[in-house]
Amino acid sequence: MRHLGCHRLFGVLDFFDPLITLVGQIGQIVLEALHAVVGGAIRALFDTVLFSNLACLIFTPLESVAEIISRIAMLFSQRSGLGIA
């Protein structure tokens, strides 16, 4: 096409091609930065909610297990007290 006298058209395209590439690269960098910031914020909030009170996270299941065991023991003692053993 250059040999057919379209030098001016290709000169304009040669100018706009790097410009379009630059805009595309900037858009990609902005999207990656946004993903990193939003991901970091969500991770920080999740860690805060999950690990803010570790004592509750650890002792609540233990208390629940102890409660279940005491209720089972109470049920067995009531059954044996009724003579149904």
* Residue 3, pLDDT score: 56
Helix/strand/coil percentages in the chain, nearest 5:
90, 0, 10
Residues 18 and 46 in one domain: yes
* Residue 13, pLDDT score: 74
Sign of CA dihedral 25, 28, 29, 30: positive
Residues 46 and 8 in one domain: yes
* Residue 53, pLDDT score: 72
The list of the chain residues with pLDDT below 70 reads 1-10, 55, 57, 79-85
pLDDT tens digits along 51-68: 777 767 677 777 777 787
* Residue 41, pLDDT score: 85
Residues 36 and 72 in one domain: no
Residues 42 and 58 in one domain: no
* Cβ atoms of 79 and 73 closer than 8 Å: no
Residues 61 and 37 in one domain: no
